[in-house]
Chains A and B, each alone.
Chain A
Amino acid sequence: MRKILVPHPILTLLITLVWLLLANEFSAGHLVLGLILGVLIPQITSVYWPERPKIGAPLTIVEYALIVLWDIVVSNVQVARLVLFRRSDGLRSTFVTVPLDITAPEAITTLAGTITMTPGTVSADLSADGRALLVHCLDVDDPAATVAQIKARYEARLKRIFE
């Protein structure tokens, strides 16, 4: 019964929050309208999204968000420096393969998105069996170290959050 009424509780909360942010003011009316949308939309779309992703370790989520925000700032400065002060043909750009330990689609999506937003890396493709991620690096000394850093810094935490 609970599964039919509220198929994705976190999505319900998220939609309500997004609605309140869109309205840009907090009032009882907006809260009720947001809750109605938050209950109806997951019910209507649950056909397309039957699995409920497992999300745990709230502290790790906060830690992950802070690390990613910090890395975004650092990566912006790094990329800006590379673009402004380095000759383009001196950039050692290369593709690397990141083998994946995580299997949850949500976790892989988050990892691919994070890689694109952080220092000098863009995720380019996923292997057909979902076991490896193709990543393009803008300027890299040691491809193996980059892969190890992605796995230790992001993937290990995502594994704790989603699995």
Chain B
Amino acid sequence: MPIVAEFLIAALIVVGAFFLLVGSFALAKLPDMMRRLHGPTKATTLGVGSVLVASMAYAAVVRGTLSMHELLITLFLFLTAPVTAFMVSKAHILRDRPERAKLPPTGSEKGWATLDPSPGSTDELAGFER
């Protein structure tokens, strides 16, 4: 395979590995739950993204085939990462009393959905001690 392509693919893998490492490091280093969420949600996207681009480039240059299902992995990652982060932070707001006191007001008479179930929905918090 051409040397330029080899360098490019290797560089993509190294960059990807670096950002994945930073993402995991952030999870360990940052001091509280909400800040820890920032590491895995972001650093992982670019990390996995560049490894997948490297995989597509490898298939195109070395095997001479067009490999596109890496795009699907990216798509599924983009769909799942924010939803996971959202559910984790909702669970955190529900469970952590000091954090709840720090929340800014919503700007309307209704509260945040985790703590103030909207009318018409089943009251999932009914038995929960607030």
Contact = CB atoms under 8 A, between A and B. Distances in A.
Interface of A: 18, 21-22, 24, 72-73, 75-76, 79-80, 83-84, 88-89, 91, 93, 95-97, 99, 112-117, 120, 122-132, 134, 136, 138
Contacts of A79: 22, 26, 38-39, 42-43
A97 B112 CA distance: 10
Nearest to A80: B22
Given A24-B67, A80-B22, A138 B35 contact: yes
Contacts of B49: 72
B110 A21 contact: no
B103 interface: yes
Nearest to B92: A124
B101 to A, nearest CB: 11
Contacts of A91: 30, 35
A128 B112 contact: yes
Q: Majority SS of interface residues in chain B?
A: helix
Given A24-B69, A97-B106, A128-B116, A76 B19 contact: yes
B54 to A, nearest CB: 15
B105 A97 contact: yes
B102 A72 contact: no
A73 B34 CA distance: 21
Contacts of B111: 127-128
Given A91-B30, A125-B114, 5 more contacts: A73-B46, A76-B47, A80-B19, A120-B38, A134-B106
22 contacts: A21-B68, A22-B72, A24-B69, A72-B45, A72-B46, A72-B49, A83-B22, A88-B29, A91-B35, A93-B34, A95-B102, A95-B104, A123-B82, A125-B90, A125-B93, A127-B108, A127-B110, A128-B113, A129-B108, A129-B118, A131-B107, A131-B108
A112 B82 CA distance: 8
Which residue of B35, B41, B118 has the most chain A CB atoms within 10 A of its CB atom?
B35
A112 B86 contact: yes
Nearest to A88: B31
